Amino acid sequence: MRLSMPLKGARKDYYKKKLLGSNDRRGWIMSFVVYLLLITIAFIYLYPVLYMFSRSLMGKNDLLDASAKWIPSSVTLSNYNSAIATMDYWNSLWKNLAIALVSTLCQVFVCSLAGYAFARYNFPGKMIWMGVLILSFLLPAQTIAVPNFLLFNSFKLVDGTLKPFIITSILGQGFKSCLCILIFYNFHRQVPQSLIEAAEIDGAGHIKAYFQIAIPLSAAAIIVVTLFSFVWYWNEVDLVRTYLGSTNDRNTGLTTLMLELNKFEDSYNAVYATHAQSTTSTNRLNDAIKMAGTMLSIAPMMLMYFFLQKQFVESVDKAGITGE
């Protein structure tokens, strides 16, 4: 009887640790709560994407059938063919890549220089310029869209080329450049200044110390800013339309997939003009074709995140960015 009491107490402690956990291990109850929260949050984010993908594979009969909400009775890819023709997908994709990639490269280089200068040097009016930088970050981009358009239009730069994007990025006025500068500023402040000073003692100048010391150490911040900037330029509509002006025609100038998606219905009616007037036409626009166009627009970003997820998470963790 005396021996059974310690055994019962040990067994009780064992199950208590299994259920509630200990200091170095999570219990079953806590694991269940954590995974339940993760599944719930993942479902909230994935629900729109899964719904769009399911609808994009449906035929007209499934769209009219209320019972076929998620699983189509027959999978059809004709919706994607119609969306590709409507958006001139491959041509618009390459133009979108050109805008996002060139603007991102210019923005990353200039913002890195500006962030390094704010973090490394003390110059007259530094705090004033930092205040202006933060103020411009808080200022909505829509409030300066019209002045920017008038300025570029007066210099004949709204011509459907990359010039407005390159100029604004080089001058540190690209899309959310203020946030990019602040990211580099916070990162370069964490770099030990003794490394820069040691390089200068060995004969390295300011430029050489920046490229040989600061740039290699800021690889994590460069990856984060590059990914952020690329996504911002890719998804932006108002700013791109402002810089391209009235020349954002896919045949004569630059365009983006988001701009094509924004005018999807008009483009569809233009491509299938001979059938658009008939309510019984097989080419009449429906929700499935719209969903297919939306999936095609976000597919490049989803693929990029799928392949670069590990590098992105590691870089965000190293750069110490939370919530941007």
Say which CATH number the domain at 118 has.
Answer: 1.10.3720.10
According to the model, what pLDDT value does residue 35 have? 84
In a domain, 19, yes or no: no
Q: Which residue has the higher pLDDT, 203 or 319?
A: 203
- Tell whether the model's pLDDT for residue 86 goes beyond 60: yes
Burial class (CB in 10 A: 0-12, 13-18, 19+), 144: middle
- 7-20 confidence digits (pLDDT tens): 555 666 666 666 66
Domain count, the chain: 1
Q: What is the pLDDT of residue 245?
A: 65
Residue 30, in any domain of the structure: no
Residue 79: pLDDT band with limits 50, 70, 90: confident
Q: Give 97 or 270, the one with higher predicted confidence.
A: 97
Question: In 3D, which of 278, 296, 297, 284 has the Cα closest to residue 63?
Answer: 284
Residue 324 has pLDDT above 50, yes or no: no
Residue 279 has a pLDDT of 45
Look up the domain containing 186 and give its range. Answer: 88-262
Q: Is 175 contained in some domain?
A: yes
Q: Has residue 100 got a pLDDT over 70?
A: yes
pLDDT band at 108 (very low <50, low <70, confident <90, very high): very high
Question: Is 317 a domain residue?
Answer: no
Per the domain annotation, does 70 fall within a domain? no
Tell me which amino acid residue 172 is: G
Decide if 246 is inside a domain: yes
Query: pLDDT (tens digit, 9 = 90+) per residue, 166-182?
Result: 888 888 888 888 888 88
Q: For residue 218, give the 3-state DSSP assignment.
A: coil
The pLDDT of 14-28, averaged and rounded, is 64
